[in-house]
Amino acid sequence: MAADVINITFRRIGLDDLPMLSDWLHRPHWREWWGDPVEELGFIRDMVEGRDTTEPYLILQGDQPVGYIQVWFVGDNKVEPWLTEAPWLKELDDDCVGVDLSLADPATLSKGLGTAALRAFVKDLRARGFDDIIIDPDPANARAVRAYTKAGFRPIADLENRSGDSLILRHEESL
């Protein structure tokens, strides 16, 4: 791992972080893969205020926020409209968790920071007792798929070609 991607920690997002996240959500490299910034920020606000069980975190390098990462609970998302939009959820165990992340600065992309952050976050999730961890990038997001593969995620064979605009990857602990 490159020396410039060490010292990664995570901090739960609070309401004071929402203006910074709004700025990030409007950046072109976020807009390419995330939805409408105002709507996405509303989802994050719901998480912070307890209306959604998804846990949002800042990725910190030292004390500097460098990205966003969240963990969502498959069992809590086996409801509409998610089941219509992502019927593959039915194929996963209720105790499975999913992860999403994005880096704040486009200059940090493809430098190992996302892979390092994901590895550290998965380690934290495993310490919390989560054994089944997935990530679901758009298959066209080759940079993300490469980073996630480097972090130990592999395609779930039973879901290949059955998950619409998502590539469902599961973390393989033995990697």
Predicted TM-score (pTM) of this structure: 0.92
CA distance 17 to 1: 29
How high is the pLDDT of residue 46? 98
The tens-digit pLDDT sequence of the chain (175 residues) is 343 457 899 999 999 999 999 999 999 999 999 999 999 999 999 999 999 999 999 999 999 999 999 999 999 999 999 899 889 999 999 999 999 999 988 888 878 899 999 999 999 999 999 999 999 998 899 989 999 999 999 999 988 877 777 899 999 976 4
Q: Which domains does the chain have, with CATH numbers?
A: 3-171 (3.40.630.30)
Task: Return all residues near 47 (Cβ < 8 A) that are at least 6 apart.
Answer: 13, 53, 54, 55, 56, 70
CA distances from 13 to 43, 115, 152 (A): 12, 21, 26
CA distance 93 to 172: 16
